[in-house]
């Protein structure tokens, strides 16, 4: 009887230890934002080339700049507006200004229980002005939290 | 000739009696049982937080002293919310598999179980995200995901222990290590939590279950136990010692 009690006690206590181990809350770790990852290329050499100065902001959002005369940006991380199917950015490279307009679809994606949901996007197309930018190529239409190149901007 | 026959019969009788004696010493009576188990931590947590109800149970039948066939099932009503989203999941699951007792029959005696269980499980559930919001450069985007019904299939390995604390009543716990085989939810809207599996964002998952089990004996079998034969001590004596031993003999 004593042996039985000891055995049951060990089972009960070991179970309690497991309860405490299993109830540890976790925090949100990792990237939660989806960005268009834009690599900047020299249009002549066709090689990666970081601008001396990059300024970038959304149309009508000049007071809230994404990049403000930032040096050596490579790649540029460009967030899309999940509440719309397109958004426009003003992009100024080495003093010359262009506009870049993205057309896309957005859909929700679960990151984790701790982090919740974010939006992923599928790029449909993009248009741009040619003051400095020569070409823009879409390399990967899926815009996610993963660090993968989406577009190449040749200037 | 008569003497040889008498000698042979005597020898045979001695051998038979010895054989019977060995068999009697090497068998035990082992009760096979039908077990009905209820998981207790799920209802206990629900009683305290009144939020998430996870209830499950199983029925198993001992196939022999080592193996039990198990079927089980349960129900989940899960509700989770944090600052940026709310999530609901409700559904049922079923499990089938076997339990393997790693204790020797003479230790287990139909009362103790320490072993491993293998299960194949199927879950059917409906989930919904009534609201979620995401902040970024452009402001706050708010949306929802409408209710949809999905399936999940997974394998489970569950080591654990159980001990009979009262006549025909056991308690015990199992650690469940689960591997998701298939989920109809797709990659983007994986379930936060779904019945039987737990956190659906991961392919591998684990959990702990605490059971109260009602044991119903239905049959007794004789189990031959392997007696441990004590090993003969190695002969470490040297040739010189043998000589000495021989010298000491009368």
Residue pair B95/B120 in contact (Cβ under 8 Å)? The answer is yes
Residue pair A109/A144 in contact (Cβ under 8 Å)? The answer is yes
Q: Is the dihedral of CA B168, B171, B175, B180 positive or negative?
A: positive
Residue B242 has what pLDDT? 42
pLDDT in tens, A127-136: 999 999 999 9
Q: Which chain B residues touch A117 with a CB distance below 8 Å?
A: 84-85, 129, 132, 134
pLDDT bin (cut points 50, 70, 90) of residue B226 is confident
What residues have CB less than 8 Å from A94, skipping those under 6 apart?
Answer: A51, A52, A53, A132
Q: Structure tokens of B221?
A: 């079998």
Q: Shortest CA distance to A113 belongs to which of B76, B87, B143? A: B87
pLDDT bin (cut points 50, 70, 90) of residue B206 is very high
Residue pair B45/B78 in contact (Cβ under 8 Å)? The answer is no
Residue A17 has what pLDDT? 56
| Mean pLDDT taken over chain B | 84
The minimum CA-CA distance between B140 and chain A, rounded to whole Å, is: 8
The minimum CA-CA distance between B150 and chain A, rounded to whole Å, is: 16
Concatenating the DSSP letter of every residue in chain A gives -HHHHHHHHHHHHHHHHHHHHHT------S----EEEEEEE-TTT-SB---S-EEEEETT-TTSEEEEEESS--SEEEE--TTSSEEEEEEEETTEEEEEEEEEEEEEEEEETTTEEEEEEEEEEEEE--SS--EEEES--EE-SS----EEEE-
- Write out the H or E segment, with its range, that includes residue B57: strand B53-62
Strand order in A54-58's β-sheet?
A65-70, A54-58, A86-93, A96-112, A116-128, A142-143
Rounded to two decimals, the pTM is 0.74
Q: Which residues of B touch A (CB under 8 A)?
A: 41, 80, 82, 84-85, 112, 129, 132, 134, 136-139, 141, 143, 145, 161-165, 171-173, 175, 188-190, 192-193, 199, 201, 207-208, 210
Residue B238, beta-bridge partner list: none
The answer to whether the CB atoms of A120 and B192 lie below 8 A apart is: no
What does the DSSP 8-state code read for residue B65?
Answer: S
pLDDT at B5 over 80: no
The answer to whether the CB atoms of A110 and B175 lie below 8 A apart is: no
Of B136, B199, B210, the CB nearest to A15: B210
Residue pair A149/A136 in contact (Cβ under 8 Å)? The answer is no
Task: Answer yes or no: is the ipTM higher than 0.85.
Answer: no
Of A22, A84, A120, the CB nearest to B208: A22
Mean pLDDT score, B218-234: 75
The answer to whether the CB atoms of B208 and A82 lie below 8 A apart is: no
Best of B54, B112, B134 to mutate (most A CBs within 10 Å, chain A) = B134
Q: Which chain A residues touch B199 with a CB distance below 8 Å?
A: 113
The answer to whether the CB atoms of B136 and A82 lie below 8 A apart is: yes
Mean pLDDT score, B100-121: 92
Q: Which chain B residues touch A15 with a CB distance below 8 Å?
A: 173, 208, 210
Q: Which chain B residues touch A12 with a CB distance below 8 Å?
A: 171
What residues have CB less than 8 Å from A7, skipping those under 6 apart?
Answer: B112, B163
């Amino acid at each position: 009887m004593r042996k039985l009690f000891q055995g049951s006690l060990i089972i009960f206590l070991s179970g309690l230890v497991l309860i405490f181990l299993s109830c540890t809350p976790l925090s949100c770790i990792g990237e939660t934002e989806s960005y268009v990852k834009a690599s900047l290329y020299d249009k002549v050499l066709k090689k990666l080339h970081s601008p001396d100065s990059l300024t970038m902001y959304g149309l009508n959002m000049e007071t809230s700049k994404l990049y403000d005369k930032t040096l050596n940006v490579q790649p540029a991380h460009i967030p899309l507006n999940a509440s719309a199917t397109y958004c426009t950015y003003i992009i100024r490279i080495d003093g010359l200004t262009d506009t870049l307009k993205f057309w896309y679809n957005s859909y929700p994606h679960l990151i984790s229980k701790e982090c919740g949901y974010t939006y992923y996007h599928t790029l449909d197309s993009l248009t741009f002005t040619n003051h400095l930018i020569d070409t823009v190529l879409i390399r990967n239409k899926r815009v996610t939290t993963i660090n993968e190149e989406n577009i190449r901007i040749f200037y | 000739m008569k003497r040889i026959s008498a000698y042979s019969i005597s020898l045979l009788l001695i051998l038979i009696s010895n054989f019977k004696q060995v068999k009697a010493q090497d068998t035990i009576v082992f009760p096979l049982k039908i077990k009905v188990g209820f998981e207790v931590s799920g209802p206990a947590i629900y009683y305290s937080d009144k939020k998430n109800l996870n209830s499950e149970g199983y029925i198993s039948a001992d196939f022999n002293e080592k193996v039990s066939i198990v079927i089980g099932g349960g129900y989940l009503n899960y509700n989770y919310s944090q600052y940026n989203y709310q999530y609901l999941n409700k559904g049922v699951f079923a499990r089938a598999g076997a339990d393997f007792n790693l204790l020797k029959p003479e230790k287990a005696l139909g009362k103790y179980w320490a072993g491993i269980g293998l299960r194949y499980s199927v879950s059917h559930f409906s989930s919904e995200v009534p609201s979620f919001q995401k902040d970024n450069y452009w402001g706050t985007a708010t949306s929802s995901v409408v209710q949809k019904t999905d399936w999940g299939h997974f394998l489970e390995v569950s080591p654990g222990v159980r001990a009979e604390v009262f006549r025909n009543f056991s308690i015990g716990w199992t650690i469940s290590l689960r591997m998701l085989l298939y989920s109809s939810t797709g990659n983007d809207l994986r379930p936060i939590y779904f019945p039987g599996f737990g956190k659906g964002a991961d392919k591998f998952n684990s959990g702990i279950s605490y059971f109260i089990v009602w044991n119903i004996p239905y049959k007794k079998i004789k189990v031959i136990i392997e007696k441990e034969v004590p090993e003969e001590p190695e002969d470490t004596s040297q040739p010189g010692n043998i000589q000495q031993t021989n010298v000491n003999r009368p």
